[in-house]
């Protein structure tokens, strides 16, 4: 059963064509993959709930579920490949003014510890200082 544009807009807050275009052009999707994109959407939904935007939160959760159903049903790449993608994404994101501002507002130490934990096994970040991470 397919939905028409009006039904899609009620369920997702936009059409599926618009949703697909938005997802595939997002930095989360390009650098971190579909799971990161879906997780980001879930965080957005939490904020919307906190601000009393229940209908918008419902649509955001539906969009996140669509991302998982659409893009995450395929096998994931090997862990080493994912780690390299994450490292490349971190390099790009930490140079962004917007991300630096987010980091200033959040717990930088927790982020550094999480990044180090991800790469501790293979020593990828062993020679980087904390300042190099952020």
pLDDT tens by residue, 2-49: 789 999 999 999 999 999 999 999 888 888 888 888 988 999 999 999
Judge if 64 and 84 occupy the same domain.
no
Q: What is the pLDDT of residue 62?
A: 94
Q: Of the residues 21, 48, 71, which one is the last residue of a structural domain?
A: 71
Q: Which of 71, 93, 124 is the last residue of a domain?
A: 71
Average pLDDT of the segment spanning 60-88: 72
Considering the domain architecture, whether residues 57 and 87 belong to the same structural domain is answered as no
Is pLDDT above 50 for 134? no
In the block, residue with structure tokens 């994101």: 93
Quick count: other Cβ atoms within 10 Å of Cβ 77?
A: 11
Same domain, 15 and 40: yes
User: Taking Cα atoms as reference points, which of 43, 39, 33 lies closest to residue 71?
Assistant: 33
Question: Are residue 17 and residue 66 in the same domain, yes or no?
Answer: yes
Is 47 or 118 the better-scoring residue by pLDDT?
47
pLDDT of residue 90: 61
Q: Is 109 exposed, middle or buried (0-12, 13-18, 19+ CB in 10 A)?
A: exposed
pLDDT at 113 over 90: no
Q: How far apart are CA 31 and CA 85, in angstroms?
A: 7
Query: Which residues constitute the domain of residue 55?
Result: 5-71
Looking at the structure of the chain, the number of domains it has is: 2
Cα 84 to chain centroid distance, Å, stands at 16
Considering the domain architecture, whether residues 90 and 114 belong to the same structural domain is answered as: yes
- Asked if residue 62 and residue 25 are part of one domain, the reply reads yes
Asked which of 54, 71, 88 is the last residue of a domain, the reply is: 71
Mean pLDDT of 108-128: 57
Angle at which helices 5-12 and 16-25 cross, to 10°: 50
Is the pLDDT score of 60 beyond 90?
yes
């Amino acid at each position: 059963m397919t939905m028409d544009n009006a039904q899609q807009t009620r369920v997702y807050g936009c059409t599926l064509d618009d949703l697909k275009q938005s997802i595939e052009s997002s930095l989360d999707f390009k650098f971190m993959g579909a799971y990161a994109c879906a997780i980001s959407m879930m965080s957005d939904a939490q904020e919307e709930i906190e601000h009393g935007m229940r209908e918008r939160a419902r649509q955001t959760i539906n969009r996140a579920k669509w991302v998982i159903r659409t893009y995450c049903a395929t096998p994931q790449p090997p862990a080493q490949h994912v780690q390299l993608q994450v490292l490349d994404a971190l390099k790009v994101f930490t140079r962004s003014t917007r991300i630096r501002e987010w980091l200033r507002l959040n717990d930088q130490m927790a982020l550094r510890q999480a990044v180090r934990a991800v790469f501790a096994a293979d020593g990828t970040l062993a020679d980087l200082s904390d300042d190099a991470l952020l």
